[in-house]
Amino acid sequence: MDKIQRAWDLARKVHKDQKRFDKTPYITHPEGVVEILKEMGVTDENTIITAILHDTIEDGESWVTDTIFKDFGKEIGYLVKLLSLKPGQSYDNYVVGIQADKRALVIKIADSLHNVTDKPTNNMKMKYRKSLAKSIGVLLKEGK
């Protein structure tokens, strides 16, 4: 079985009982993020796998982190951890951490784009819009 299929299998296992705010299965979120990345022209396998798994550490149990590092390697494990908001971590601190890797920033942008276009409430729209603006702002600063 290829790595991308194994990533989907793990994501489905972790998110199996979760629902989105609109009651759809949670797995539709990483599917949407991957679709947006592909529309952006992202084809790198490790970036796609990271996008599939991007919420698994936050939403899963303690075994998930070890499984990701063991099954997918240090690079993907590092990126998924980077994209995981730690308990008690401020969102601003989280965004600063993501700046360590442009792939994480691009995934975060795709994540925010999916969230803002996936029928959220008005409060959620504002949260995701701010997230998107911060992530793009970081990329623009790096481009100077």
**pLDDT tens readout for residues 12-33:** 999 999 998 778 899 999 999 9
CATH number at residue 40: 1.10.3210.10
Report pLDDT for 120: 60
- Is the pLDDT at 144 greater than 50, yes or no? no
Output 138 or 113, whichever has higher pLDDT.
Answer: 113
Domain count, the chain: 1
- Is the pLDDT at 9 greater than 60, yes or no? yes
The pTM of the full predicted model, rounded to 2 decimals, is 0.86
Q: Which residue has the tokens 């299998």?
A: 9
Task: Give the active site residue among 31, 58, 75, 101.
Answer: 58
Give buried/exposed letters for 93-121 (b at 16+ CB in 10 A, else e). Answer: ebbebbbebebbbbbbbbbbbbbbebebe
Report pLDDT for 74: 97
Tokens standing for residue 113: 């784009």
- In the 8-state DSSP scheme, what is residue 41? T
Task: Give the active site residue among 44, 45, 59, 75.
Answer: 59
**Which pLDDT tens digit goes with each residue over 54-101?**
999 988 888 999 999 999 999 999 999 999 988 898 877 888 888 889
At 56, the amino acid letter reads T
Beta bridge partners of 19: 25
Report pLDDT for 125: 66
The range of the structural domain enclosing residue 113 comes to: 3-142
Q: Contacts from 119-123 at CB under 8 Å and sequence distance 24+?
A: 119/21, 119/22, 120/21, 121/21
Is residue 55 part of the annotated active site? The answer reads: no
Is residue 59 part of the annotated active site? The answer reads: yes
Q: How far apart are CA 26 and CA 30, in angstroms?
A: 8
